[in-house]
Amino acid sequence: MAILSISRQFGAGGKTLGGMVAEKLGYQFVDESLLQKVAEEANVSVRWVEGVEREAGGRLMRFLSTLVPSSFIDRHLGESGQDFDERRYAAFLTKVIKELAQENNVIILGRGSQFILAEHPESVRVLLVAEYPDRIKFLQRRYNLEQEKAEAMVNREARKRERFLRNFYQGDPNNPSLYHMVLNTSLVPIETACEQLCDLVLQQVDRTAKPIWD
């Protein structure tokens, strides 16, 4: 029973890794494009936004699962949040992510979830970092992109991430003390990273384990 928040520098393999961990642990994976989609739906139906707080988690999850097939439309390529005032969007995300956290056994990729869930007792927060050239190479391989395009994407997303996360936190989002664990996917292969994350989640929620200070 845990909720895993995966944050990452763009191109460090967060989406791939999140999917792998979800499959291995039998968790539901909520990626950014899915959350974006929810926000768009919400923008259409304001009543639904207002309802989020009151809704039972199960219903929200069912709603989310109906959206899964379309989540493959890579929303990173679009201009996320443009139609939706960013502050309202952040407030909305806070509601949705907190609601998702009620569900347990969920993995959430990005969207400020590391800050929204900072005080959540069942949350495990990890960050993925990687060297700049490796992040470009990863995107080229994974999404079959030209180097120039991958590079432009990494740069654009880095700026967007920085601006977006400022809605939740004023400091450096790559500060390791904000997370339980940071993995460097330039040095740790993705399969190994997946195993390390599964170990962390399974052991972290074992309440009988003693903290380091005892």
Selected range binding other proteins among 61-69, 87-95, 104-112, 177-185, rule: CB under 8 A: 177-185
Indicate whether 188 belongs to the interface with other proteins (CB under 8 A).
yes
Nearer CB in complex with other proteins: 72/213: 213
If the CB atoms of residues 61 and 188 are measured against other proteins, the closer one turns out to be 188
CB 105 within 8 A of CB 27: yes
Q: Quick check: 164 binds other proteins (CB under 8 A)?
A: no
The window from 46-54, 80-88, 103-111, 201-209 that contacts other proteins (CB under 8 A) reads 201-209
> From CA 30, how far away is CA 111, in angstroms rounded?
10
187 binds other proteins (CB under 8 A): yes
Length of the chain: 214
Q: Which of 16/174 has CB closer to other proteins?
A: 174
Euclidean distance between the first and final Cα of the chain, in Å? 24
Nearer to other proteins by C-beta: 24 or 62? Answer: 24
Among 42, 60, 130, 165, binds other proteins (CB under 8 A): 130
Binding site for other proteins (CB under 8 A): 127, 129-131, 174, 176-177, 179-184, 186-188, 192, 195-196, 199-200, 203-204, 209-214
